[in-house]
Amino acid sequence: MAGLRRYFLSDSPLRSRLEAIYRTLPQRTVSLVGQAPLGGSQVAEWDFESPDSWRWHTGIIADDLNLDAEGQMRQIFEKYERLLAAEFMTIADHCLRTWIFVRDIDNNYAGVVRGRRDFFHTIGLTPETHFIASTGIAGTHADPRVLVMMDALAIPDVDPASIRYLKGSSHLNPTADYGVTFERGTSFSYDGLRYTLISGTASIDNHGQVLYPESVEKQTLRMLENIRVLLAEDGADFRFVRSALVYLRHPEDAATVRTIIDRELPCLDYLLLHAPVCRPTWLVEMECIAVR
């Protein structure tokens, strides 16, 4: 078995030392992202074991770092398409999940949205076809010129008939309604197991509006409710969640969010990180992977 190993690093000398070490390892072995763990440590490790045939590409950045966020995002997808082509794959047919890390997300996320949307249009990904499950979140690379960085998962032998794109229409709306191009969740079958990949999910309603902008407690509960709806659409629930990542805009909210999650989901394995979400009024976001 192979898989993804991601290290979440605080801004400290430790980060520079780790990045120097892991840059020597093969691509798609290790992911490094500047997001401070909220458990009292300078570094946290997240591992997801997967079959050997799955292709994890990590730390993809633009070649021209003089570009703005929109240009870097488009160039990253162009680069990723070439990486997949070398293994007889395409983004449209084989990519199941992306993670997009954005420096200064409050100012650069709009450019990321445009760059991704324009690239998807060139390869035929539209609201009438499908998009890709994703998390777009604040995160940094060691080089301050890197405004956008991406990790991605592609599976060369995935059965297209098994893929399902989750909507959660009772609680969420299509992201294209407000100009963003990702799926709320994607599920598929592989080697006798069913995988449900839930994108970064926050306190939003089915009109695309942020709910409870002043209350991290209410946002956390709505976030969990939205994820329950998405999991249920694929016949799953939180019992099958193998791991979850929870992102907070304000580190001081960590104790409150941890108390709520531990009360509501006492068996959930999750990691809390300091990483602002793509709208300033969103205080908390979660992504997860269920396997059954």
Q: Domains, the chain, ranges and CATH?
A: 2-291 (3.30.1330.40)
The predicted pLDDT at position 83 comes to: 97
CA distances from 82 to 76, 79, 152 (A): 10, 5, 13
- CB burial class (10 A; 0-12, 13-18, 19+) of residue 26? exposed
The predicted pLDDT at position 60 comes to: 96
CA distances from 51 to 32, 80, 185, 231 (A): 21, 21, 20, 22
For the chain, which residues score pLDDT lower than 70?
1, 12-17, 19-28
The predicted pLDDT at position 41 comes to: 86
DSSP string, 80-97: HHHHHHTTT--HHHHEEE
Q: What is the DSSP letter of 26?
A: P
Total residues found in the chain within this entry: 292
